[in-house]
A and B are shown apart, each in its own frame.
Chain A
Amino acid sequence: MSFRMARRRVVNVVMLGATGVCAVMSVLALCFILGYLLWNGGHYLSWDFLTKLPTPVGQSGGGMANAIVGSGKILLIAAVTGIPVGLLAGVYLAEFGGNTMTFMVRYAADLLNGVPSIVTGIFAYTLVVLPFHEFSALAGGLALGIMVIPVVMRSTEDFLRAVPGTLLEGALALGTSRWRGIATVVVPAAFRGIATGILLSMARVAGETAPLLFTSFNNRYWSTGWMQPTASLPVMIFTYAISPYDDWQRQAWAAGFVLLMLVLLINICARALLLRGQPTGR
C-alpha cells in the first residue's frame, strides 16, 4: 500500500516536471527565435540597409528601402479595405442582427479566417491582376484586406457585446436616436478592444508572404502609385533566403529581424492596450 502511495507521489512530481518542461520549451522557442534573429539580423542591420535600393545580382551592398515602404503601402490598402468592412459588419452583428443573417455572416467570417493565405492570393489574382493585366500593390493589399476582415469583425462584435446595455439605454433615455447612441457611446466604450483587434489583424497580415507572391509581385525600384508591382519585406526575405549569395542572406536576416520586431511590437501594444482597459471595465 505504501509502495503504491509512493509511486503515485513520484508520478505526481514527475508529471509536474514533465509538463513544466513542455511549457518552458514552448516559451524558449520564442526566445530562441528572437535571439537568433537578433544575433544574425541585428548584426547586419545598417543605415544602408534601411535606405538603399537593391543592387544587381552578385554585387554586395544595397538595401531594402523600397521593400519597407512597399510593405507599408500594401498594409495601408489592407487596412483601408479590411478595417471598415470588419468594423461595420461587427457593429451589425452586435447591434442590429437578426438570427439567420447573424449566423450566416459569422459563418462567412469563420470561413474567411480559415482560408489558407495562398488561396486568398489566388482569389486576388483572378479578381484584380488578370482584369487589369498588372501586378499591383492594390491586388496585394486586397488579398491581405480579406484576411483582416474576420479578425476585426470578431473583436468588434465581442467587445461591443461586452459593453453593458445600460450605457445605450441611458443615451436613448436622453433622447438620442439609436444609431447616434451606438456611434457616440457604445463604440467609444468598446474602443480599446476594437483597437486591439485592428492592431492584431494588421500584425498578422504584415508577415504574410504567400498571397503577395503573385499579386504585388516584386519591384527592383520604388513603385509609384498603387497599380505597380511593389516590393515587400516578406517577399524579399523569401527571395533572399533561398539564394546562394552571402550578402543577400545577410540582408534576409536583417529584414527578418525588422519584420519580426514590427510584428511583435504591434502585438505587445495591442495586448497592453487590452490589459489596461480591463480594470476600468466601463
Chain B
Amino acid sequence: MNKHLKMYAPFLLLVGFAVVALVSVTRPSSPAPAPSPTRALIMALAPPSPTNVLLNAAGATFPYPIYSQWFDVYHQLHPDVEINYQSIGSGGGIQQLKAGTVDFGASDMPLNDKLLATFSFKIIQFPTVLGAVMPTYNIPGVTATLNFTPQSLAGIYLGQITKWNDPAIAKANPGVSLPGNNIVVVHRSDGSGTTFVWTDYLSKVSPQWKSRVGSNTSVNWPVGLGGKGNEGVTGIVKETPYSIGYVELVYALQTHLPYGTVQNSSGHFIKASLATVTAAAAGAAAKMQNDVRVSITNAPGANAYPICSFTYLLIPAHIADGTKRQIIKGFLHWMLTDGQKYTEPLAYASLPDAVAAIEMGHISEVN
C-alpha cells in the first residue's frame, strides 16, 4: 500500500495544488461582499444556500445594455438576488421559456395568440422600455449622416441596390460623395426581436419585401452576412468597410459608429433619439389599454422615428416558487418606477406614464 501511495501521491498533490491555486486566485472583488477564498470554494461547490437566490433569464439583445444595468443595480440594492440574464436573442428567450430552462424571458417581438397557444402555461407580457433600430454603416471616407428612404433600405436588404452610389441612395444625400463600392449587408444570424422590428417596418413600407420575405424573428434573408446578436452585427459592421447593418441605438452609440436617418411616414428624415422615439409611442398608450402588444413601426407623426419598438419581459402567470415569485414581482415594480430613471443615459426612451400604470395593474396577475 505504501508503494501505491507514493505512486499516486504526486498526482494527488498536483490536483490539490491546482485546487488551492484556483481558489486563492479567485478572490471575488465585485461590489458584492467578498467571501474568503475557502468560503468562495465551498460556495462554488456546495448546493445553493437559502439566502442567495439565482434567477435565470434569457432573450433579446435589443435591451441587453439596459437590462444588464438594471439587474446589476437591483443586485446592489438586494445583494442576495442574482438575476442572470443572457442575451441570446428574442427567439432564444421565447424558446428557453417554453422549455422551462429560464425563469422568465425577454423579447422585442410580442407573442401573438398563435405563438402563445404553443405554450403549456400562460404568459403575461410586460413592456419595459422603448428602443430604436437604425441603419448603421461603415464607409471609409464618409463621415456625414446619410439619409435613407424606405425604398432604399428595402432595396439594399433585398439585394437590388448593390452599390453605395446607387441613385436611390444618392438622391436622398445630395452633396455627399458616395463611393462605388459594393454594399456589404449585415443581418442577424440568430432568432432576433430586432430582426422582427426591422422586417416589420420593411413589410409595412415595401409590398415586395412583405410577399418575398415577411417579418419574424428569423427570416430567409435574400443577401448578407449573419452576425450573432446586436453585438455581433455591430462587431461585423465595425470591422468590415462599406457595410451596413441594423442595430439598436445604444450599440451604435457605445461603439461610436455612425448611423443614418430614416424617412418617416410624413416624409421627414428623422434621426433616432429619445425625443423622436417618444414621439412614435405617443399614440400607443391608448391602444395598450386592452392589449399591450402594439407595433409602433412607421408610426404617424411629424417627428416620429419610424423604426422603434417596445420590448417585453415574458413572465409566466403562475410561478410555483414563492421566493422567486416575490423577487420577480418586486423587480417588476422597481422597474416600472425607479428603473425607468436609468433608461435615458443609455438612449432608451422610458415608458409613457399611462403604459406604466397599466402594467402596474398586471403585476397582481402573477401568482
Contacts and interface: CB of A to CB of B under 8 A. Distances in A.
Is there any pair of Cβ atoms, one from A and one from B, under 8 angstroms apart in the complex?
Answer: yes
* Most chain B beta-carbon contacts within 10 A, residue among A50, A66, A243: A243
Contacts of A220: 68, 71, 82, 84-86
A219 B102 CA distance: 12
Contacts of A130: 99
A56 B72 contact: yes
B251 A133 contact: no
A134 interface: yes
Interface stretch (B27-35, B209-217, B333-341): B27-35
B69 A242 contact: no
A65 B28 contact: yes
A219 B68 CA distance: 12
A217 interface: yes
A217 B86 contact: yes
B82 A58 contact: no
A196 interface: no
B7 A73 contact: no
B235 A129 contact: no
Interface in A220-240: 220-225, 228-229, 239
Nearest to A55: B72
A243 B26 contact: no
Interface residues on A, range: 35 or more
B347 to A, nearest CB: 11
A225 B48 CA distance: 6
Contacts of A68: 22, 25-26
A1 to B, nearest CB: 58
Interface string A57-87: 1100000011011001100000000000000
Interface stretch (B38-46, B126-134, B284-292): B38-46
A47 to B, nearest CB: 9
Interface in B56-76: 56, 58, 64-65, 68-69, 71-72, 75
Given A58-B254, A221-B54, A52 B99 contact: no
Contacts of B45: 73, 225
Interface residues of B, number: 52
A53 interface: yes
Contact of B28 (A53, A134, A244): A53
A134 B101 contact: yes
Contacts of A133: 99-101
A242 B25 contact: no
A56 B342 CA distance: 13
Residue among A65, A130, A220 with max Cβ neighbours from chain B (10 Å): A220
B141 interface: no
A164 to B, nearest CB: 19
Contacts of B155: none
Nearest to B49: A224
A166 B200 CA distance: 77
A92 interface: no
A4 to B, nearest CB: 53
A135 interface: yes
A50 B21 CA distance: 12
Which applies to chain A's interface (DSSP): helix, strand, loop or mixed? loop
A95 B233 CA distance: 56
B235 A243 contact: yes
A132 B238 CA distance: 40
A20 interface: no
A172 to B, nearest CB: 19
Nearest to B47: A225
Contact of B232 (A52, A134, A225, A243): A243
A51 B22 CA distance: 10
Contacts of A219: 84
B220 interface: no
B64 A57 contact: yes
A218 interface: yes
Contacts of B250: 58
Contacts of B47: 224-225
Query: In this complex, which of A58, A133, A245 has the most chain B Cβ atoms within 10 angstroms of its Cβ?
Result: A58
Nearest to B83: A220
A267 to B, nearest CB: 15
Nearest to A65: B26
B22 A72 contact: yes
Contacts of B121: none
Contacts of A12: none
B82 to A, nearest CB: 5
Nearest to A231: B84
Contacts of B99: 129-130, 133
Given A56-B72, A195-B11, A228-B54, A244 B65 contact: no
A188 interface: yes
B22 A69 contact: yes
B352 interface: no
Can you list the 10 inter-chain pairs with the closest CB atoms, starting with the nearest? A133-B100, A244-B234, A56-B68, A243-B231, A244-B235, A53-B30, A225-B47, A244-B255, A57-B65, A221-B82
Given A57-B69, A219-B84, 13 more contacts: A52-B29, A57-B68, A58-B250, A58-B346, A130-B99, A221-B82, A222-B28, A224-B44, A224-B49, A228-B54, A242-B235, A243-B229, A243-B235
30 contacts: A50-B26, A51-B25, A52-B29, A52-B30, A56-B65, A57-B64, A57-B69, A58-B65, A58-B254, A65-B26, A66-B28, A69-B22, A69-B26, A73-B44, A133-B100, A134-B56, A135-B56, A184-B4, A188-B7, A220-B84, A220-B85, A221-B54, A221-B82, A223-B44, A224-B44, A242-B232, A242-B235, A243-B232, A243-B234, A245-B231
Interface of A: 48, 50-53, 55-58, 65-66, 68-69, 72-73, 129-130, 133-135, 184, 188, 191, 195, 217-225, 228-229, 239, 242-245
